[in-house]
Structure 1
């Protein structure tokens, strides 16, 4: 118990540094860009428009409000992809600083996931625009959306810690994970309905792909106008907390050896 209290005290002591790192990442992303943070809205909006034009003509999906269906999946996947990829380089990318002074190493990983989360909050502006254009009705269940985003944030934090630790010792993870993200995108019903898949593959995705749970919760609220299935909520939180637990334990166990490999 005393050890946990000590770690919390250390985190509180370095929280200003965490805030500065998050602000730095956000400012650097659109530095020297004429439109600046507006790109947080334009990027997902432009991508969604292109994907709607392509997939709605190539494939005939019986999906009501397809642009809304698409941008929800695109936004959640985009956050997971960006945050975990940034987190993967959080330790190796700050090697010079870590060699000079003591800073809790997890601060850098947390900052990367958090800055990506803030960028995603900006990107929700694009989602709101699509909701308005597509005449989505705003209702009370939408107040649950922050809870869904919290599930995804916790999941990404755990996965980010795991990737950050692994990349220190095994640099090939960056190439393996890039390929994995591509496969993960296609194995998640982002731009197609899951009922188009064979039953066996559909069962695997529903039970072993956390992104399916997060995206489906979101779509149930927005497209179906109903509260998400409690089983999906429990599954989403369970996977998120398990990811955070595993990522934290492995990261903390190996962090003292980072200095020998960075």
Structure 2
């Protein structure tokens, strides 16, 4: 009677898989805008076009009221409130979609080579996170222009870290 041996692989931590996660993230970043005319500008054009359309509809046609902003002027700006929410929603939506696509695109590779299945998902989320940082930088710049600056800006980093973990 032949004895069968089963190999038990011990799970490694996410940090020990960091090189593989970065490789999947770099692959996603390089392939996303490859061959496009605007390249990385697409990561700003699409959200800004969405912002323009929704701002037109909700602030001009439906006349939505938003709370006043901080700073000396305190004028309510619907587009700015909407852009803050759109940035967070875009990160969540794109991370989930890219994670599923990353897992599906690595299906054949997962069957041939052993590596944790979460690595392409986290790599895709990393790529989307880089794109979202561009949008967040634009949002923070606009908030600075409107003088909406206070100590609560310090809460952005922990908030974004928690949001990223749950995404």
TM-score interval, smaller chain: 0.7 to 0.9
Task: Quote the Cα distance in structure 2 between the aligned partners of 1:93 and 1:6.
Answer: 22
1:115 aligns with 2:127: yes
Residue in structure 1 matched with residue 33 of structure 2 by the alignment? 30
Distance 1:132 1:46, change over 3 A: farther
Aligned-partner Cα distance in 2 for 1:130–1:50 = 18
Counterpart of 1:7 (choices 9, 12, 33) is 12
Higher Cα Rg, which structure? 2
Contact kept in structure 2, 1:41 and 1:126, CA below 8 Å: no
SS of residue in 2 equivalent to 1:118: helix
Q: 1:12 and 1:75, CA in 2 relative to 1: closer, same or farther beyond 3 A? A: closer
Alpha-carbon shift at residue 41 of structure 1 (Å): 2.3
Of 139, 152, 156, 2:163 maps to 152
Q: 1:49 pairs with 48, 52, 55, which one?
A: 52
Alignment RMSD: 2.0
Give the one of 152, 157, 163 matched to 1:141.
Answer: 152
State the secondary structure of the residue aligned to 1:89.
helix
| Superposition deviation, residue 16 in structure 1 | 1.1
Hey, what's the Cα distance between the residues in 1 that align with 2:161 and 2:144? 24
3-state DSSP class of the match of 1:91?
helix
Which structure has more RCO (C-alpha within 8 Å, separation ≥ 6)?
Answer: 2
CA displacement, residues 11-67 of structure 1 (integer Å, 9 cap, x when unaligned): 444321111111111121111223222222232222212211111122122212111
The normalised TM-score by structure 2 is 0.78
3-state SS of 2:106 partner? helix
| Counterpart pick for 1:100 among 98, 106, 112 | 112
Q: Which moved more, 1:35-44 or 1:24-33?
A: 35-44
Deviation at 1:148, TM superposition (A): 1.3
Larger helix share, 1 or 2? 1
Query: Residue 79 of structure 1: CA displacement?
Result: 0.8
What are structure 2's unaligned runs of at least 5 residues?
Answer: 1-9, 67-75
Show CA shifts across 1:108-165 (max 9, x none).
Answer: 11112222111111222332354355x1422332121111111211111xxxxxxxxx
Using the size of structure 1 for normalisation, the TM-score is 0.52
